[in-house]
Amino acid sequence: MFQGRRAWAALVGGWLVCMAATELLAQPPGPRGFGGPIELKPDDVPAFEEPPRGFDLRRNDIPHGKVEMISYESKTVGITRKMLVYTPPGYSTEKKYPVLYLLHGIGGDETEWQRFAKPEVLLDNLIADGKAVPMIVVMPNGRAQKNDRAEGDVFRSAPAFAAFEDDLLKDVIPTIESRYSVQADREHRAIAGLSMGGGQTLNFGLKHLDTFAWIGAFSSAPNTKPPKELVPDPAAAKAKIKLLMLSCGKRDGLIRISQGFHAYLKENDVPHIWHVDDNAHDPPHWKNSLYHFVQRIFRDEKS
Ligand code: FER
């Protein structure tokens, strides 16, 4: 009997070691295999089910919104810049819409979300099914420097991602609010992004809670400020945030950044969603996270 128990313990122990090794080896090689070893914690589980089949496929039997590339004069950067704007089906100046500002990663530009998720397809489908409120989605270029193309060593542009704070607040948002029919207050502005854009989302969104009430950071990168700097006053943040969602793939070598922030929020009693799925630092994670986030913003109840 005792022998049997020992054998079982050895078997289970061996299995645990194997699982841990598998997690460590699970980081993809190549340019997206960022970061260090992955140590999963008990809280690192999905908050949501996988999106249903077809959530990302264009349906011909429903009304579609429009996507247009617009230009604006950026006083911050001193050049004319571009951003992509989705307006929902039936967009009309008789109504006013909430706006989601959606930010890209280190190797991307204003077109990157198009390659990773087709936000217009997700939104058209969710709006048709009554699962998301009609909203405008703005996809700007988060690299606030004169040459804002993702060229050469993209890591050298990291400071331009920080400089985007001014471009967003002083140029992008005023442009959108002067050209589109929008509800221009914090409860009708959301900010979300992937990787570098996730870091920007937390750095800018939490610093400017008078501007944004809905915040979604997917696979946040090392540009994310330390938790105490992001949320120096947990009670104030708690009172203002309508939704704070953090997500990351369990095979993402950058997960320690989101894990650390989740732990700080939990410790300081700041409500948030922490969603960890089976993906890596990759487009499926960002597409799925966007799908989950947009259903929960601009709604009355806290989710
Ligand atoms: C880093 C690793 C990854 C970093 C940024 C990234 C600024 C960004 C990745 C992405 O946007 O996909 O060390 O430092």
Q: Which range, of 16-20, 38-42, 120-124, averages the lowest pLDDT? A: 16-20
Specify the pLDDT at position 17.
38
Taking the alpha carbons of 265, 245, 257, 103 in that order, is the dihedral positive or negative?
Answer: negative
| Protein residues whose CB sits closer than 6 Å to any atom of ligand 1 | 34, 105-106, 158, 195-196, 221-223
- Taking residues 243-259, report their average pLDDT: 98
Determine the Cα–Cα distance for residues 89 and 132; give it in Å rounded to an integer: 12
Tell which one of 34, 104, 252, 289 to mutate to probe ligand 1, the residue whose CB is within 8 A of the most ligand atoms. Answer: 34
Q: pTM for the whole thing?
A: 0.90
Specify the pLDDT at position 243.
98
Specify the pLDDT at position 30.
37
pLDDT tens for 92-139 read 999 999 999 999 999 999 999 999 999 999 999 999 999 999 999 999
Cα 78 to ligand 1 centroid, rounded to whole Å = 26
Q: State which ligand 1 atom lies nearest to the alpha carbon of 104.
A: 11
Q: State which ligand 1 atom lies nearest to the alpha carbon of 196.
A: 11
Cα 257 to ligand 1 centroid, rounded to whole Å = 11
* % of the chain with per-residue pLDDT over 70: 88
Of 17 and 78, more confident: 78
Q: State which ligand 1 atom lies nearest to the alpha carbon of 106.
A: 11
Ligand 1, atom 6, lies closest to the CA of: 221
Ligand 1, atom 1, lies closest to the CA of: 222
Cα 220 to ligand 1 centroid, rounded to whole Å = 8
- Taking residues 164-193, report their average pLDDT: 98
pLDDT tens for 21-34 read 333 334 443 345 68
Tokens of 268: 């300081």
Q: What is the CA radius of gyration of the chain?
A: 20
Contact in structure between 137 and 119 (CB atoms under 8 Å): yes
Tokens of 68: 């247009």
Contact in structure between 266 and 43 (CB atoms under 8 Å): yes
Tell which one of 102, 161, 195, 285 to mutate to probe ligand 1, the residue whose CB is within 8 A of the most ligand atoms. Answer: 195
Q: How many residues does the chain have?
A: 303
Specify the pLDDT at position 80.
98
Q: State which ligand 1 atom lies nearest to the alpha carbon of 223.
A: 7
Residue type, 42: P
Determine the Cα–Cα distance for residues 102 and 112; give it in Å rounded to an integer: 10
- Is pLDDT of 219 > 50? yes
CB atoms within 10 A of CB 270: 19
Ligand 1, atom 13, lies closest to the CA of: 222
**What mean pLDDT, rounded, does the chain reach?**
91
Cα 222 to ligand 1 centroid, rounded to whole Å = 6
- Is pLDDT of 150 > 50? yes
Specify the pLDDT at position 27.
42
